[in-house]
Amino acid sequence: MKNNKKSSGFLTALKIIMLVLTAVYPLVMVTLSGAGLVYNHESYGSELTAVGVLLIISGAAMVLGALLCLFRKTIPDIISVICSGGGLALCLAMLYKLADHADRAGWTNAYTLMPISDMYKSRIMPAIAPAAIAVIIALIQLFSYEASEERRLRRQKKLEKENAEAPKIIEQEDS
């Protein structure tokens, strides 16, 4: 029982860290980077506008994945893994396209003359941490002893209900 409380405290702390990181990186950095590309679509063109829309979608997916892993339920945990992992994969693919475009176009910071692609990478790459933490939390909860016991009990109750004797429709009188 004491070990269960320690692991529960660890998961709670991990969830708090994940939520803070999710608020900063996928929600603010990724989504607002995408919103900036969409907002300035006249300057960037349709290709980067599409990248911006997909960055917003990936940020929203990672936020949804983080929120869903807060519940200790099987279906939300499965959806959390899909949203967090898929959102992160989409985010990194769009970051690659954005950085590649910025490097090919020769975009640099006017003050430091550093490539703009480095700025995008430094703002968006840390989104890996909260997405990975969300996946780890969801997987821990999915494969925990408590979750497997809960699923076993649900299957057992369903089986008992299916094998239960059917109620009699017509009562027979004894003669």
Q: At what angle do helices 46-68 and 31-39 cross, to 10 degrees?
A: 150
With cut-offs at 50, 70 and 90, classify the pLDDT of residue 147: confident
Query: What per-residue confidence (pLDDT) applies to 172?
Result: 66
Provide the mean pLDDT of the chain: 90
The percentage of the chain sitting over the pLDDT mark of 90, rounded to a whole number, equals 70
73-116 pLDDT, tens per residue? 889 999 999 999 999 999 999 999 999 999 999 999 989 889 99
Residue 111 DSSP class: T
Q: For residue 115, give both structure tokens.
A: 């490539």
The backbone torsions φ and ψ at residue 108, rounded to the nearest 5 degrees and listed phi first, read: -135, 160
- DSSP SS3 for 1: coil
Q: Which two tokens stand for residue 22?
A: 């999710």
User: What's the pLDDT band for 173 if we cut at 50, 70, 90?
Assistant: low
Which ranges of 40-73 would DSSP assign to H, the alpha helix?
Answer: 41-44, 46-68
Q: Which amino acid is at 22?
A: T
pLDDT of 167 over the 80 cut: no
CA distance 83 to 156: 30
